[in-house]
């Protein structure tokens, strides 16, 4: 009998399907012994997790682009970590990796679950650990493929992006600038707007919290000829207002609708959607996972922009697994400033 | 002084901007002497007019894809007629023509207004007078380009079209069948549904008036694998229900929203629009006038289908200029069965 205590894995599991904003009682904190990987398996110590608006959708019952998290299951989360044990030739102890780690200190993959885990080595010379959850991670890939494949920006066009200081928004705006667009952000508060313009180089940013007509007036002022591309992360009233300002053949990328995710009533549909007809415009949805085969090419391009200083990033880092339930709420009240990350351990 | 009475032109003009459904007092009936055309001008006797849901939009103030009809102006309408006087080499007295004739017995074009009138000769060997307002006219062109250019149907795909027995719907469904799709219509009442299936060859037709869950249940029954293309003429609840049944990469053509045109409150936005995201689908608007340069090619193709008996049409013909205000209302209560036409004179 060994005198070494068996290591324990701390986890946060979904306890109940939330109604409206997730509450403390929708989660349960669990501890379980950490087993060594089986033949072909890998164990990863979680260093940092990506906290995303999409998580709210995964907590709901019902059909979506991905199965819901089951009650009692470890909450789904993308993250970055270090291989802490391996019986698989592709991964060595100490390798830095990203993938679906879940809200837990250690993620264990069998030979089978590894195949669908998306676990991949990451190179910290291309970007920092938190940048691998941001520009080089899911939000960056979402912005990259949503903008380029769905939005198809042309030099000289005007792009508007909501959630401009958020993870996807910061990538979309900077990438659109690189592609020659005029870029106008929409964000909550003067500090975020200042950062987006001064640090990220957007042409303008509209503070939607500045007043009831701030978005309408801001679009008139900054997009006098209308909007060619709208990258929508928020839905609701802002989507409706942008719809009144789109140009002919405009493209609206439906990436998310964070304003609607915690509704206890029906989603607010865009009452100005007939602007699509008048303007021969389109509104199109996208899911980043469809582009997995092209991530390496996109990561290489984005890493190049980071290295050249043409792209910047900002992460809002919260410390500690136990902070997960509270940290997640920052997304929905707009409190996070930059990509929201939960750090569990130092790299 | 001639003893021949000067001919009189009877007209219906927009007297007020309607709130909700157009009322009798929103129109004024006028009579004015008919002048001979100036050098380069043409005069056309109206034989039949196209009555379209889009007319309701033209009566509203405000920016759209086309300028509103001004108060006091003859109501805008497309029609077919016979050249009754001409001082233009392109048109001879007796020529059959189609174009923007307006709700009046005679339309007069100067050399200038002729340029933008879209007045064009029609060939009654290709289709009857009323078919030139239907399959070979604006509704047919709308269906043709909306389906083929925006919808991009592939053989084996499932198409749903609302307003299936209407002018655009009958063309869309038959054309989609010719292109190899499975076609499910949505129409109001058993008679229309029967006609759509038995005469036009749709695979099925859902009677949306059959009960509150008729559309939902009908889509489940007839589109068990989901909907690839939805050609939307109606908006409102039916659009929302179809959105719950779309497949990956579905295309929704926003052609109209007749359920919303007489709203006195805001348009009902599609609350299920996030289905576009989940399904990587798109919703796109179209305006037929953009395709004017390609009408001849489309007319030739459609006339071929008519001749081969692969396409059928049905027009609901109301007699007499004075009936215009009442006839228009048939569109909005779904009373018309087939393309609604107002006949003013025999060919």
ipTM: 0.91
Name the 3-class secondary structure at B170.
helix
Q: Which phi and psi angles does B102 have, rounded to 5°?
A: 85, 165
Cβ within 8 Å of residue B93, ≥6 positions away: B83, B84, B85, B86
Residues of B in contact with A248 (CB under 8 A): none
CATH class of A138-289: alpha beta
Distances (CA, A) of B155 to A227, A241, A257, B177, B252: 35, 38, 34, 9, 17
Given an 8 Å threshold on Cβ–Cβ distance, is A283 in contact with B276? yes
Looking only at the bridges linking them, the beta strands covering A339-343 and A42-50 are antiparallel
Rounded to whole angstroms, how far apart are CA atoms B163 and B233?
Answer: 6
Q: What is the pTM of this model?
A: 0.92
Element (H, E) at B195: helix B190-198
What is the pLDDT at residue B14? 97
Given an 8 Å threshold on Cβ–Cβ distance, is A269 in contact with B266? no
Looking only at the bridges linking them, the beta strands covering B246-254 and B227-232 are parallel
State both tokens at A346.
């130092």
How confident is the model over B79-90, as pLDDT tens digits? 999 999 999 999
Sign, CA dihedral A143-A144-A150-A155, equals: positive
Rounded to whole angstroms, how far apart are CA atoms A226 and B249?
Answer: 28
Instruction: Kindly tell me if the per-residue pLDDT of B1 is higher than 50.
Output: no
Give residues 223 to 242 of B whose Cβ lies within 8 Å of A.
235, 240
Q: Among B236, B254, B259, B288, pick the best mutation site for testing chain A contact (most A Cβ within 10 A).
A: B254
- A102 touching chain B per CB within 8 A: no
How confident is the model over A233-289, as pLDDT tens digits? 999 999 999 999 999 999 999 998 888 888 888 889 999 999 999 999 999 999 999
- B284 touching chain A per CB within 8 A: yes
Nearest CA in chain B to A288: B280
- Tell me the nearest-neighbour CA distance from B158 into chain A, angstroms: 19
State both tokens at B84.
């009754």
Rounded to 10 deg, the angle between the B138-145 and B295-307 helix axes is 100
End-to-end CA distance of chain B: 33
- A287 touching chain B per CB within 8 A: yes
- B62 touching chain A per CB within 8 A: no
SS (H, E, C) A146-208: HHHHHHCCCCCCEEEEECCCCHHHHHHHHHHHHCCCEEEEEECCHHHHHHHHHCCCCCEEEEH
**Distance, C-alpha A166 to centroid of its chain:** 8
What is the pLDDT at residue B115? 87
Angle at Cα B291 formed by Cα A274 and Cα B236, nearest 5°? 20
Boundaries of every domain in chain A: 8-134+314-343, 138-289
Rounded to whole angstroms, how far apart are CA atoms B246 and B232?
Answer: 13
Residues of A in contact with B278 (CB under 8 A): 63-65, 285, 287
How confident is the model over B133-176, as pLDDT tens digits? 999 999 999 999 999 999 999 999 999 999 999 999 999 999 99
What is the pLDDT at residue B4? 61
What's the mean per-residue pLDDT of chain A?
95
**Residue count of chain B:** 347
Rounded to whole angstroms, how far apart are CA atoms B6 and B32?
Answer: 10
Rounded to whole angstroms, how far apart are CA atoms A120 and A116?
Answer: 11
Distances (CA, A) of A227 to A160, A255, B155: 7, 17, 35
Rounded to whole angstroms, how far apart are CA atoms A52 and A341?
Answer: 9
Return the percentage of chain B with pLDDT > 70, whole number. 99
Looking only at the bridges linking them, the beta strands covering A78-86 and A42-50 are antiparallel
Rounded to whole angstroms, how far apart are CA atoms B320 and B49?
Answer: 10
**Under CATH, domain A8-134+314-343 is a member of which superfamily?**
Medium-chain alcohol dehydrogenases, catalytic domain (3.90.180.10)
Cβ within 8 Å of residue A199, ≥6 positions away: A312, A314
Under 8 Å CB pairs connecting chains A and B tally to: 108
Residues of A in contact with B267 (CB under 8 A): 271-274
User: Which own/partner contact pairs does B110-115 have at CB distance under 8 Å and 24+ positions apart?
Assistant: B110/B37, B110/B38, B110/B40, B110/B41, B111/B38, B111/B39, B111/B40, B111/B41, B114/B40, B114/B41, B114/B42, B114/B88
Name residue A342's beta-bridge partners: A49, A318
- A262 touching chain B per CB within 8 A: no
Give residues 25 to 44 of B whose Cβ lies within 8 Å of A.
none
- Tell me the nearest-neighbour CA distance from A310 into chain B, angstroms: 30
What's the mean per-residue pLDDT of chain B?
95
What is the pLDDT at residue A266? 82
Under 8 Å between Cβ of A184 and A238 = no
- B1 touching chain A per CB within 8 A: no
Q: Which phi and psi angles does B263 have, rounded to 5°?
A: -60, 140
Residues of A in contact with B282 (CB under 8 A): 282-285
Residues of B in contact with A282 (CB under 8 A): 282-285
Instruction: Kindly tell me if the per-residue pLDDT of B2 is higher than 80.
Output: no
Angle at Cα A97 formed by Cα A231 and Cα B280, nearest 5°? 30
Cβ within 8 Å of residue B2, ≥6 positions away: none
**Average pLDDT per block of 10 residues along chain A, 347 residues long:** 72 96 96 94 98 93 87 97 97 97 97 89 96 96 98 98 96 98 97 97 98 97 98 96 98 92 86 95 96 95 97 96 96 91 93
Residue in A63, A240, A282 nearest the CB of B283: A282
Rounded to whole angstroms, how far apart are CA atoms A316 and A328?
Answer: 12
The residue behind tokens 């060939």 is: B123
End-to-end CA distance of chain A: 33
Residues of B in contact with A280 (CB under 8 A): 284-287, 290
What is the pLDDT at residue A1? 45
Over residues B115-143, mean pLDDT: 94
Given an 8 Å threshold on Cβ–Cβ distance, is B240 in contact with A269? yes
Which is nearest to B278 in space by CA: A191, A10, A255?
A255
């Amino acid at each position: 009998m060994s005198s070494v205590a068996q290591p324990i894995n701390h986890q946060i599991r979904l306890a109940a399907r939330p109604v409206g904003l997730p509450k403390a009682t929708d989660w349960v904190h669990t501890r379980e012994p950490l087993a060594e990987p089986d033949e072909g398996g890998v164990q990863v110590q979680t260093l940092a997790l990506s906290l995303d608006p999409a998580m709210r959708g995964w907590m709901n019952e019902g059909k979506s682009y991905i199965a819901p998290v089951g009650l009692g299951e470890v909450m789904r989360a993308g993250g970055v970590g270090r291989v802490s044990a391996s019986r698989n030739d592709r991964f060595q102890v100490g390798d830095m990796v990203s993938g679906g780690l879940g809200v837990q200190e250690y993620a264990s993959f069998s030979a089978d679950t590894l195949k669908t885990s998306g676990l991949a080595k990451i190179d910290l010379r291309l970007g920092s650990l938190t940048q691998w959850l941001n520009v080089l991670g899911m939000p960056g890939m979402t912005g990259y493929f949503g903008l380029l494949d769905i939005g198809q920006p042309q030099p000289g066009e005007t792009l508007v992006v909501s959630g401009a200081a958020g993870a996807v928004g910061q990538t979309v705006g900077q990438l659109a600038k690189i592609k020659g667009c005029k870029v106008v952000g929409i964000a909550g508060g003067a500090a975020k707007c200042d950062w987006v313009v001064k640090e990220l180089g957007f042409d303008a940013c509209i503070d939607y919290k500045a007043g009831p007509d701030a978005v309408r007036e801001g679009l008139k002022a900054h997009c006098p000829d209308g909007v060619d591309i709208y990258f929508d992360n928020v839905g609701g009233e802002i989507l409706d207002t942008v719809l009144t300002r789109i140009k002919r053949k405009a493209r609206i990328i439906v990436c998310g609708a964070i304003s609607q995710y915690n509704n206890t009533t029906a989603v607010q549909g865009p009452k100005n959607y007939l602007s699509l007809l008048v303007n021969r415009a389109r509104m199109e949805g996208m899911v980043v996972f469809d582009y997995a085969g092209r991530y390496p090419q996109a990561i290489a391009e984005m890493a190049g922009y980071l290295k050249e200083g043409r792209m910047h990033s900002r992460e809002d880092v919260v410390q500690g697994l136990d902070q997960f339930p509270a940290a997640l709420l920052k997304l929905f009240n707009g409190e996070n400033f930059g990509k929201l990350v939960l750090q569990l351990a130092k790299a």
